[in-house]
Structure 1
Amino acid sequence: MLNTQIKYIDYISKVNDEIEKTNLPDKVIEKFQLKETIEAIEKVELLVPVIGAFSAGKSSLLNSFLGDKKLPEKITPETALATELRYSEDEHIEAVGANSDITTFSIDDIEEIKDRAKDFKYLRMYLKNENIKNIEPLILVDMPGFESPLDLHNQAIMEYINRGVHYIVLSSVEDGTITKSMRRQLENIQAYERGFSFFLSKTNLKPKEEVEEIKQQVQDQLEDYFDITNEIGLVDDNGGESLQRVLSKIDPEQLIKTIFLEDLKDNYFSIKEAINTSISASGKTKEENNRAIQQLQKALDETLQKKNNLIEETKSRYSDIRINAIVEAVSMDLSNSIEEIVSVGMSGDSNALSETILEIAKSSLIVNVKDSMNDISGEIVNDFSTGLSNLNSVMADFTISENWIAGIAETTKKMITGASNKLNTIVSERKKVQNNNEDIDKTYKAVTSVLAITTEVVNPIVEVAIVFLPEILSFVFAAIQENKQKEKIRTTILTTTIPSLKRNLRAKLPEMFNAQVNELISQIGEQFEEAIENKQASIENAQKEREEENRNMEQIIQTYKKADKAITTLANNTLYKE
């Protein structure tokens, strides 16, 4: 376990010890999710996908890193599967199916797995290999090439783009430049706010001087397109050492901080808020506490009504104009790429043409759906916070901030727009298991980020497009077979293919888009409801303590203050100390 993991777990354990010395209500303590946070930190995995075009040398690079040819290097695009490389004393392969079911194979069964590639989403290859063990908790993932069949490639990319923490990107020196396909893949990675390290592979195939020229050209492209100035790595036929050097520059400690630090800080303020509410309420009269409780209940009822109203207004208020803008943006991006599409069409390769069009459409969808969901989530949060702004004056004596509602809004925005939330992932997976039981623990609510919501919209749309795209392209294929006239292919794509794709998007997009907007509204509403309920429970609990006979209220208040001081010191030494 990394030092940062140990430090965070120790911090949470000590915070929990301090909380247990107080009399905070169980309902409020459960909302802090301290046990779940420790579990998430303990189980965090740092996935590092290795991506590139087919035959870019990904498997060769990884085999060189392993020092053993465990990954098949000469496979067809149809049999390529994303493969996670994990350490284990017991070598075996787990094949994960579409429903997350697992089939176990021996390492020697790789050929059988290739023949059944369409049955699985991805593989976990467990190897007794010191190089894999030495980079833990980093987990390398061998990804299918860009030319793999659309359904397999789409499944793999969408499976890992929201789970990967850093990407290793391979581009063959034989390409001489960053291809348009590669550029779109990098745009997708940046849209999901992930970093990447770039390699030129197969450098042994060209003279050193030419390699340096290509390296400089690619470096210029990375800076122009992505504002990336990191030096490009060079990989020859023995690239394992180069990969090790790049991996050594990835700081797992910093990645752990990136994933968990903001959540821990937000959690710290939630704990301080609850303790200080109890301190304040303990010093109030019964009438003052009851008045605050009544106001909170009124706000809770209003929040629930607001949530229901917003869900009813989803289509007219959020979806119609956004969906139209997204579809038009996809159309514009396809039209702007017409020369590339026509060029692929002239080659006569129908699969390549389908892949190019879908790749352009998918990249456009990712960017535009994400931007729309970001805008919508901001509007929804503002709607809730504006409606509750009168609570600030009512709660002035019960909170540690002058604008309590703004604090809830800011925390909610960070949760919704967060690129990664491992705590919520753990809780979400736990809830999936519990859904099969009658006694579902409803205390823990996993908040889905905009990036995950984007995946939930884009992935099904792309899967549907895989089915209807060949029919849409039938006119183009006919034009190609007839005479391969460039202008006719261009006209057919602009007047038939793109309009047909737009019609299909307009038909399929609303259902998934509306469902995710409704989910956003529900989750944002629940965050406000939870904050109000916690405040209400803390005040009710303090009032109950006041009403009990023979209770030394001054001693109770001092207990809360000591806990508050101790937790503040722990946070300053762990979360705010550079």
Structure 2
Amino acid sequence: MILQKKFEFIKKLKEKYNLPLQELQEHIHYMQNFKVTTPIIGGFSTGKSTMINAFLGEKILRTNITAETAIPTEISYGAFNIQAVKGHNKKSLTLDELKNREFSIQDTEYIEIQTNHAMLAQLPTIKLVDMPGFDSGIQAHNTAIDQYLPKSLAYILTFSAEEPVMKESISDFLNELKIHDVPVYVCVTKADKVTSSTLEKNIEAIRDSVTYSLGLAPKKVVPIWAKKKLNENNEKVIDVNGLKSILKDIEENSRFIFEKHFSSLLKQHVTIVEQYLQEMLRSTELTVSELDEKEVRIQRDIERVQEKVTVEQKHFSTQLSNSITIIQAKINDELQANKNTLISMLASGQDIQTKLNLIVRMAITQGIKTEFEPTLQKHISKLSNAIQLDMPIDTFRPEQNNIDEKTHETLKNIALKSAPLIFTAIGVALTGPVAAMIIASIPIIADLLFNQHKEKEAKKQAEKKLVMEIIPQVLQVADVQVANELESYSETIHAMIQEDLIKKRDLLQKALEDTRTQKLNEQVEQQQLISEWEKDLEQVRGILNDAIVTM
């Protein structure tokens, strides 16, 4: 039974027994529209859009854009449709408008393109994202790149064959990306611009640079000839087979991701039906008065558990405060460690805003992994022990009384989901008063270069500005944002646990109420019902057992 059919079968059972359907229907919709988001990232004007056009065999994306008109563009397989997206607002576009109209990151967050192109038909679960270039000088572009981190399952980096140099911004990004554990591929564009021997040498240089920054070798490094130009043998070439092989690899891996992810979701829904049927079967042995007594006991148990949860949450608040303080200290340590670099950049008239964001972002991400995540894991473990309801224990699946699979999945991905939200918010905050201070400081310090002391005076002034004004304001913004976001995230976790607790109570009470109704209904053959429940339970367990094996 394929995954989709299993979901539909469980849906029918939930409908049959009048169990909640909304979350299951959302998961089915999500499954039907599942895509592996794959951003294509590189320096500005490294040929990303030209490569995508060559891959599609037609010019869909504009290639003569400026930094101001570059925005993320999502491309996936589907019925032809183009939309410009800003928040919840979507505006339909024609292909001519897409090609000829100038867009701005300030008024359009991203463009969404669905097309039934033959090449994309072979890659139905991939969503390519043509990202604005690094070092464009526009802070909103950096924020856009940050915002794709939580939902990206693979990355394709582009480097020009003419410039096999790893820029600091991309190196910093790769250092951060290795924390998120996603596959990275590399396309070396403009391969027609250099000789074969130079291309081979530059590909190896790029591979070595990416491996050094990422901490492991990229999955693939491929050359791209995206324009019909003469090569050294006077032949007109266009070759994007390397990109095709990368996308094929991602597509094949996406099937594994799909099976693993939705098998886990399926298990959650199957468990609900299993517990309901088990409780129905157990309750048939009780009298109506015993059912009433058990219902009262369940309510009492819920109140007892909620008291334990409240006590543990208060204890966790103290631990959370300590974690936040440590993460804030890490931010300060990283800023101090990079002080000399920032002073040199500021003294030479460079914009240090992007560098500041990278420093803060790395400190937060590492702090969440080493401080916040372990603290939260211990907290959730204690809560799982506190939540002991009268749920049926089954030797078929003895681990069923452990903390829910949903919570485990949340914890495993905590850094991936929460860290980008925090440092994106900080990045936006840093574009305000701190950015204004940096911009105002640059001409003042640059003027010192015309004095006789030149560099020495410029660096002295830069250090004063940095230490006395810029770093304190960065810390103030970061400290508040870290505290707010981590506390908010923790509240979400607690709300999820409370919601799950209520769902379990409602499930048990429904099973008791349904059993009571059947007992009072003399027209129903009890044994016939029991046989039907046992049959449904056997089928549910068959699906559950298969889901466990395939995960």
Q: Same fold (TM over 0.5)?
A: yes
Deviation at 1:482, TM superposition (A): 1.6
CA deviations over 1:459-503 (Å, ceiling 9, x no partner): 222211111322342446533442344753456535543233112
- In structure 2, the residue matched to 1:186 is 174
CA deviations over 1:213-245 (Å, ceiling 9, x no partner): 443344345445433463322224445332112
Deviation at 1:401, TM superposition (A): 5.4
- In structure 2, the residue matched to 1:555 is 528
Alpha-carbon separation, structure 1, partners of 2:273 and 2:79: 42
Alpha-carbon separation, structure 2, partners of 1:365 and 1:216: 33
Deviation at 1:275, TM superposition (A): 1.7
Alpha-carbon separation, structure 1, partners of 2:321 and 2:539: 51
Alpha-carbon separation, structure 2, partners of 1:377 and 1:466: 31
The reply on whether 1:141 has 2:129 as its aligned counterpart is: yes
Partner residue of 1:514 out of 487, 490, 499: 487
8 Å CA contact 1:333–1:360 kept in 2: the answer is yes
8 Å CA contact 1:333–1:361 kept in 2: the answer is yes
- Distance change in 2, residues 1:272/1:467 (3 Å): same
Partner residue of 2:270 out of 268, 271, 284: 268
The reply on whether 1:294 has 2:259 as its aligned counterpart is: no
Deviation at 1:161, TM superposition (A): 2.0
- In structure 1, the residue matched to 2:39 is 49
Alpha-carbon separation, structure 2, partners of 1:313 and 1:319: 9
Which residues of structure 2 form unaligned runs of 5+? 227-237, 450-454
Q: Superposition pairs for residues 479-518 of structure 1, below 5 Å?
A: 479-483=445-449, 484-485=455-456, 487-488=459-460, 489=462, 492-494=465-467, 496-518=469-491
Larger relative contact order (CA 8 Å, sep ≥ 6)? 1
Q: Superposition pairs for residues 41-440 of structure 1, below 5 Å?
A: 41-87=31-77, 90=80, 93-97=82-86, 99-110=87-98, 113-127=101-115, 129-224=117-212, 225-228=214-217, 230-237=219-226, 238=238, 240-250=240-250, 251=252, 252-286=254-288, 289-305=291-307, 316-338=317-339, 340-350=341-351, 353-369=352-368, 372-389=371-388, 391=389, 395=391, 405=401, 407=402, 409-417=403-411, 419=413
Alpha-carbon separation, structure 1, partners of 2:107 and 2:362: 26
CA deviations over 1:278-327 (Å, ceiling 9, x no partner): 2222224456544543332123223444555666677x524432222222
Secondary structure, aligned partner of 2:53: helix
Alpha-carbon separation, structure 1, partners of 2:106 and 2:3: 41
Alpha-carbon separation, structure 1, partners of 2:88 and 2:143: 13
Secondary structure, aligned partner of 2:207: helix
Alpha-carbon separation, structure 2, partners of 1:258 and 1:113: 41
8 Å CA contact 1:80–1:144 kept in 2: the answer is yes
Alpha-carbon separation, structure 2, partners of 1:383 and 1:128: 50
- In structure 2, the residue matched to 1:460 is 425
Deviation at 1:450, TM superposition (A): 6.2
Letter in 2 for 1:414: H
8 Å CA contact 1:121–1:152 kept in 2: the answer is no
- In structure 1, the residue matched to 2:232 is none
Which residues of structure 1 form unaligned runs of 5+? 1-5, 420-448
8 Å CA contact 1:476–1:493 kept in 2: the answer is no
Alpha-carbon separation, structure 2, partners of 1:147 and 1:516: 31
Alpha-carbon separation, structure 1, partners of 2:181 and 2:302: 35
Letter in 1 for 2:270: Y
Structure number with bigger Rg:
2
Letter in 2 for 1:202: K
- In structure 2, the residue matched to 1:15 is 10
Alpha-carbon separation, structure 2, partners of 1:169 and 1:187: 14
- Distance change in 2, residues 1:357/1:577 (3 Å): closer
Please give the root-mean-square deviation of Cα atoms over the aligned residues, in Å: 3.3
Deviation at 1:414, TM superposition (A): 1.9
8 Å CA contact 2:426–2:481 kept in 1: the answer is yes
TM-score by length of 1: 0.80
Choose 520-529 or 377-386, whichever is displaced more. 377-386
Choose 224-233 or 46-55, whichever is displaced more. 224-233
- In structure 2, the residue matched to 1:568 is 541
Secondary structure, aligned partner of 1:120: coil
Alpha-carbon separation, structure 1, partners of 2:311 and 2:443: 49
TM-score by length of 2: 0.84
Alpha-carbon separation, structure 2, partners of 1:347 and 1:207: 37
CA deviations over 1:406-429 (Å, ceiling 9, x no partner): x2x14243242354xxxxxxxxxx
- How many residues were matched structurally? 529
Alpha-carbon separation, structure 2, partners of 1:402 and 1:216: 52
Secondary structure, aligned partner of 1:50: strand
Alpha-carbon separation, structure 2, partners of 1:396 and 1:568: 14
- Distance change in 2, residues 1:337/1:303 (3 Å): same
8 Å CA contact 2:41–2:131 kept in 1: the answer is yes
